[in-house]
Amino acid sequence: MNTALACEGPVLLMEHGMLYDQSGPVPTDLDYQVPYGSAQVVRQGSQLTVLTYLTGVQACLERAEAWAQEGIEIEVIDLRTLDYLGMDYATIGASLARTGAALIVEQAGRSQGIGARLADEIQSRWFDLLDAPVAHLAARDVPPPVSRVLEAAVLPDGDRIHEAMGRAARRQVR
């Protein structure tokens, strides 16, 4: 919110309702700003780069820890800035140079989110670094659900994330 307030141009700020139940450390500085255009590596890894945002961050962290128990080290990056011109391509590129593979995880449907465009951007910029095509896990491409039961059936859950991470880390193409 503080970053949006400091911007001189128009800003669209959206709050994700599923984040309201999450808790964790927060900055003590009430004027703290997340730097615009700055992604955050929330877990270091060497075999796969996972790019995600919002609720995907915690879900991917949990699954990356599970894979670490099996000896697969997965890097998780919270994109934080989602517009294409302001995205932190330096952090993404540096991670891909270490891992050679990417998985994009998002809650939006495949045709409605940023994942497909980001996958194209990654393949255009860093094709020579990649050992396999960029993998993309998104919500099922249906109208947004209105009940929790339908929502659970549509959104990527822990099992789907775990499976997609395993395939991408092993360079398996569907």
pLDDT of residue 21: 78
Tell me if 88 sits within 8 A of 39, measured CB to CB. Answer: yes
Residues in CB range of 112: below 8 A, 6 or more apart: 141
What's the mean per-residue pLDDT of the chain?
Answer: 91
Residue type at 160?
R
* Helix-then-strand count for the chain, H and E: 6, 5
What's the pTM? 0.89
Distance of CA 92 to the CA centre of its chain: 11
- Residue 3's pLDDT band (cuts 50, 70, 90): confident
Q: Which fold has domain 38-145+162-174?
A: Rossmann fold (3.40.50)
Enumerate the domain spans of the chain. Answer: 38-145+162-174
> d(Cα 129, Cα 122) in Å, to the nearest integer?
10
Q: pLDDT tens digit string along 101-148?
A: 999 999 999 888 999 999 999 999 999 999 999 999 999 988 888 898
